Amino acid sequence: MSNPVEPRAGEPCADESPADASPDAVSRRSMLKAGALAAATFAGAQAPAQGQAQSDAPAARTGSVAGMPFRAFVRYGTEGSVLDLRLRDIKPTQVLVRTRGSCGCYTVTSSVLGDFPQSTASIPNHSGMGVVEAVGAQVRRVRVGDRVLVSGTPWCGQCHQCLSGTPEWCNYLAPGGVPNDPIAEMADGTGVIEDAVIGGLSEIIVAYEEYCVPIFSDLPDEQIAMLGDTGAVGVAATSVYDPVQIGQNVVIFGAGPIGLAAVQGARAQAAGQIIVVEPARYRRELASSFGATTVLDPNDDTDTLVERIREMCAPRTDRLDAGGQVGGGGFISMRGADLVVEASGFDRYPPAVETGPDPTGLLALRQAWEVTAPGGSLVTLAVQRGDIAFPGSAFCLSGKRIFGGQMAGMNVMRDTTRFITAMENGDVDIGALVTATPPLEEIRAGFQGVADRTELGVVITFPS
Ligand SMILES: [Zn+2]
Ligand SMILES: [Zn+2]
C-alpha cells in the first residue's frame, strides 16, 4: 500500500545523484533542491494542518468508546431481536457513526424475517447514515460531527480496482478486503459483527473510513440513507457505465425502488422512451408518474414481450440510406434499446402484490438481454436465483455490452455528491421513493413490507 507522502520523500534523491557534476547539473541540482524544499515545506505545511484538523475535531475519542451501550437488531442462532450491546474499541482506521437512518434492502429480508441458523451474531444490512461521533487516529476523510453516509460500497482510491476504473469493486469491499471483527458484545460477552462490515440496523455503525462519504447537504436523513443502496443504484444505472444520451431508448425491468430511481435518472437525462416492465399495478402507475413513457405487464402476452419492445425501439424509417433499419433476421435482431436496466430481482418471499411470470427472475434477465440493441448496454442489478443460458452465437457476436452492476458501477465519493445535487435541484426525487420510516422496534413490520413488495424504500430511522 503506497503512502501518499512517498513521492515527495523520493524527490531529494535526484539531488544526490553522483553523476550530476557539471555546472549545469549543479544548477539543476539547485533547482531540484529548491523544488525539494518547496515540496518539503508543502508537506510540512500539510502535516500540521491535517493534524490540526484532527485535533480540532471535538471529542475524538479513539480508544475510549469501549463499553458504550447501544441497541441493535442482532441475528443469532435461528432468530433475530433488538438487543442491548456494549461497544468494543474502534480501530485506528474506523469511524463511529451514530445512526440516523438505514435503507432496508430486499436482499436482507431473510436476515430479519427468516429462521435459518446463524452461528455468528451479526447486525444485518449493508448501509446507513448518521453523524460521526468518534474517529480512529488514522481517519482523515470524515471528522467528528460530520453528517456521513456509510455506503454499501467503499472507495479507497488506491487499490487495484479503484485505479483500474472499477471502483464498485474496491478491494476494501467485504468479504476479504478488511477484517470483520466483532464491534460489540452481548451481555454474556458474545461478540457481534456487522454484516458486510457495515450492518446498519443499529444505533451505532462502526465503519472503515473507506465506506464513509461525508455529506454536505441539508437533504433529509431518509433521502441520504437511500443513497447508501437502492436509490443511488437506480440513478447510477442510467448515469455511470453508459450514461443516457438525449433521446435514447431506455428499458427498465422492475419498478421497485431501484427501477423507479432508474426511471427518474433516465428522465433527468432526457431519454426518448422510457419503457418499464413491472407486474405490480401500483408500481407501474408510479413509474408512469415518474416519467415512464410506456409501462408493460410482463404477464400480458409474455411470449411476445421482447418483440413488442424491439418494435417500440425501431428507427423511424426502414430506408437504410436514410438512417433506417430493416430489423434484421437470423439469429441477431438489430432492434432494441440503447440502455436496458435489469432490476427485477427474484421472489425471496411470495409478494403480496402481482408478481411476474418467473419468480426466479431469470426470464426477466433473459428478456432484458434480448431487448438490448447491438451496441447497446445492459446493466444487470438484481440478485437472481439460479443459472441462466444464452444462445451462444448471439451472446458472443451481438455487440451488446453487459455491465454486471455491483452498485451500478458507482464511485461513491464522486457520484454521491452528483446525485445529491440532482436531488436538491429537483431533477430526481428520491424522497418520493421512501414509503416507510419505521423505528428499530418496528423493524419486522418494515421489512415485511419490503418482502411483500407493498413498500418501496423502507428506511429504519433512529431518533436524533
Ligand atoms: Zn442492498
Ligand atoms: Zn479501492
Centroid of ligand 1 to alpha carbon of 10 (angstroms): 43
Does the pLDDT at position 453 exceed 90?
yes
Confidence check: pLDDT of 35 > 70: no
Q: What is the pLDDT of residue 464?
A: 78
Whether residue 11 is predicted with pLDDT greater than 50 in this model: the reply is: no
Ligand nearest to the CA of 167: 2
pLDDT at residue 328, rounded to an integer = 66
For ligand 2, the distance from its centroid to the CA atom of residue 74, given in whole angstroms, is 29
State the pLDDT at residue 297: 98
Q: What percent of the chain is predicted at pLDDT more than 70?
A: 86
Ligand lying nearest the CA atom of residue 165: 2
| Confidence grade of residue 52 (pLDDT, cut at 50, 70, 90) | very low
Q: Which ligand is nearest to the CA of 159?
A: 2
Ligand nearest to the CA of 171: 2
- CA of 277 from ligand 2 middle (Å) equals 35
Q: Label residue 329 by pLDDT band (50, 70, 90).
A: low
Least confident of 45-49, 96-100, 419-423: 45-49
The model's confidence at residue 383, banded by pLDDT at 50, 70 and 90, is: confident
Mean pLDDT of 353-376: 95
Q: pLDDT digits over 237-249, tens only? A: 999 999 999 999 9
CA of 338 to the centre of ligand 2 (A): 30
- Range 99-118 average pLDDT: 95
Per the prediction, the chain carries an average pLDDT of: 87
Residue 174 reports pLDDT greater than 60: yes
Ligand sitting nearest the alpha carbon of 156: 2
pLDDT of residue 172: 95
CA of 48 to the centre of ligand 2 (A): 26
Q: How far is the CA of 170 from the centre of ligand 2 (A)?
A: 4
CA of 107 to the centre of ligand 1 (A): 6
Question: pTM for the full model?
Answer: 0.86
Q: Which of the ligands is closest to the CA of residue 195?
A: 1
Whether pLDDT at 28 is above 50: no
Cα of 164 to ligand 2 centre, how many Å? 9
Q: Please give the average per-residue pLDDT across 130-151, as a whole number.
A: 97
Secondary structure, 3-state, the chain: CCCCCHHHHHCHHHHCCCCCCCHHHHHHHHHHHHHHHHHHHHHHHHHHHHHHHHHHCCCCCCCCCCCCEEEEEEEEECEEEEEEEEECCCCCCEEEEEEEEEECCHHHHHHHHCCCCEEEEEECCECEEEEEEEECCCCCCCCCCCEEEECCCCCCCCCHHHHCCCHHHCCCCCCCCCCCCCCEECCCCCEEEEHHHCECCECEEEEEHHHEEECCCCCCHHHHHHCCCHHHHHHHHCCCCCCCCCCCEEEEECCCHHHHHHHHHHHHCCCCEEEEECCCHHHHHHHHHHCCCEEECCCCCHHHHHHHHHHHCCCCCCCHHHCCCCCCCCCCCCCCEEEEEECCCCCCCCCCCCCCCCCCCHHHHHHHHHCEEEEEEEEECCCCCCCCCCCHHHHHHCCCEEEECHHHHCCHHHHHHHHHHHHHCCCCCHHHHEEECCEHHHHHHHHHHHHHCCCCEEEEECCC
Note the ligand closest to the C-alpha atom of 411.
2
Instruction: Give the residue, 8 or 116, on which the prediction is more confident.
Output: 116
410 CA distance to ligand 1 centroid (A)?
13
